[in-house]
Amino acid sequence: MSTHTETRLLPLQAIARLVVLYRARHVPVYDWVTSEPSRHDLDHFVKTHHGRLSQTLAIGRDARAWMGVPVVPAASVAFLLLDDGNDTDEVIRFLAPERGMFPEPLRLLDARDPRVALRRVMVAHAANRAKHPEYEWIAYMLKAWNHYVMGDLVRAILWRVEDGLPRIASWPPDPRPGR
């Protein structure tokens, strides 16, 4: 195994772990810290989804640069959104609006844009030196995604652990005829 692959394997397994835990809806979020998918399951997941995991790791790094979120939870959200059938450019536009094919500088976004509200939460979490569980970062990102796809304007992204992790919202149907 090459050194390059070995250095990237750990983050890919960490992303895979969060994706597997998210999909295992029977595991409550407060058990994520102690719940571990088997090493075999993680290795198989990484082998099966290596390309997408690598792609979402890059998106996670862009999200970290834009809003200070840890790379692995951001990459896990990117994986979940892409695996749910969402467009790559749209996922990048959501997680790292100033990057990607259609950059949108923060100063041009509406203050009530869910991405701006999410960025405020993520920057505050990053500045607060307390350790936040990975599921909390994921919950806020998914909650903001759901507002984003619904076209909601929000001032804040609110989430409580009692709410559980949000399901991923789908884009509303295009009301134009033939679309």
Is 72 in a helix, a strand, or coil? helix
The total number of structural domains that make up the chain: 1
In this structure, what DSSP letter does residue 156 have?
Answer: -
pLDDT along the chain (179 residues), means of 10: 44 94 80 81 94 96 91 97 93 87 79 94 82 91 96 94 90 61
Q: Which domain holds residue 32?
A: 3-163
- Any domain includes 109: yes
- Any domain includes 96: yes
- Any domain includes 93: yes
- Any domain includes 179: no
Q: Could you tell me which of 116, 120, 121 has the C-alpha nearest to residue 153? A: 116
Q: Residue 27 half-sphere exposure, CB side, CA atoms within 13 Å? A: 17
Q: Is the dihedral of CA 21, 138, 157, 162 positive or negative?
A: positive
CA distance 150 to 146: 6
- Any domain includes 174: no
- Any domain includes 119: yes
